Amino acid sequence: RQCAAAFLDALPADKLDTGGHLIGITGPPGAGKSSLTAALIHVWRQRGLKVAILAVDPSSPITGGALLGDRLRMNASGADREVFIRSLACRGEFGGLSAEVWPMSLAMLAAFDIVLVETVGVGQKEIDVSKMTDTTCFVAQPASGDSIQFLKAGIMEVPHVIVVNKEDIGMAARKTLSELKNTLRRQMDPEGWQVPALLASAALGSGIEQLADALNSHRNWLLARGQFDARRQRCQAEWLVKHLREEFGRYGIGLLGGDDALFAALAEAPRRSPIAEYEALRARVIQEIKAKG
């Protein structure tokens, strides 16, 4: 852990703040997230961008390792030295993420133009990715009913880009797109980011260029409004608070002033590596516990 903290501390500050583009891709199981990711890799490489993929898979109950291995579904990029693909086990984490995703993402952003985190596909709890990325893409499955369930659960506030995959199946995909657009129209903040809903087919390669453009447009929107580095800072704060809560519970967070005070302090604090920052906060909690006897 000390070596990891030292490595992250050595990264250039501009890479931590505005370097690269950290994208999360989420959606129900079977929506075609891995196939869509493979298609996006092809487009990004054609544009001369270096790409890293952190693919979070279910854990093996025996070894604790990644069970499916998303690299198997993206093997077309295996010979490209400018593409890095790593499977991670979620290890029972709610939200479809692995605990290591945030610090690993920062390390990847120092070397790659695009870092994409693909979540495990665990259903309606799969929203943590939006708290750990610059831009979140939700992949909808045509005619499955999952998209509407996500709408009812309020999760449509999470994505910055929505794509209905499997356009090649025809009417069902177009109907799902229409339903999503109608719901977005009712929920959209006229002064905020206007979430695009797109059709694509990973199988045919259609709509992938438009999807890549939409993801990049959200990054440019954040930069134009001076919100990009603040979002990165918030991502780190979310990671820190989440893991402090897992180790010490609400009591430990309370010793640091509570959620609101802690988030406010982290927003103003100088950027450090997440591991070094976590160890410093952890030491404070332990000190407070000892002081209270």
DSSP 32: -
Q: What mean pLDDT do residues 34-44 have?
A: 95
Residue 253, token pair as written in the block: 């967070």
Global pTM? 0.87
Q: 223 pLDDT band (50/70/90 cuts)?
A: very high
Residue appearing with tokens 């709408």: 151
Residue type, 127: I
Q: What's the pLDDT score for residue 274?
A: 86
Domain boundaries, the chain: 12-225, 229-291
Q: What mean pLDDT do residues 64-90 have?
A: 65
CB 36 within 8 A of CB 163: yes
Q: Is the pLDDT of residue 67 over 60?
A: no
Q: 59 pLDDT band (50/70/90 cuts)?
A: very low
Q: Is the pLDDT of residue 96 over 50?
A: no
| Paired strand residues for 114 | 21, 51
Q: Is the pLDDT of residue 4 over 90?
A: no
Q: Which CATH superfamily does the domain covering 12-225 fall into?
A: P-loop containing nucleotide triphosphate hydrolases (3.40.50.300)
Digit-coded pLDDT (tens) for 255-272: 999 999 999 999 888 877
CB 141 within 8 A of CB 119: no
Digit-coded pLDDT (tens) for 104-148: 888 889 889 999 999 876 454 556 788 889 999 999 888 766 666
Compute the chain's Rg from CA coordinates: 19
Distance between CA atoms of 9 and 22, rounded to whole angstroms?
Answer: 19
Q: Is 170 exposed, middle or buried (0-12, 13-18, 19+ CB in 10 A)?
A: exposed
Digit-coded pLDDT (tens) for 207-222: 999 999 999 999 999 9
At 201, give phi and psi (nearest 5°): -140, 110
CB 110 within 8 A of CB 133: no
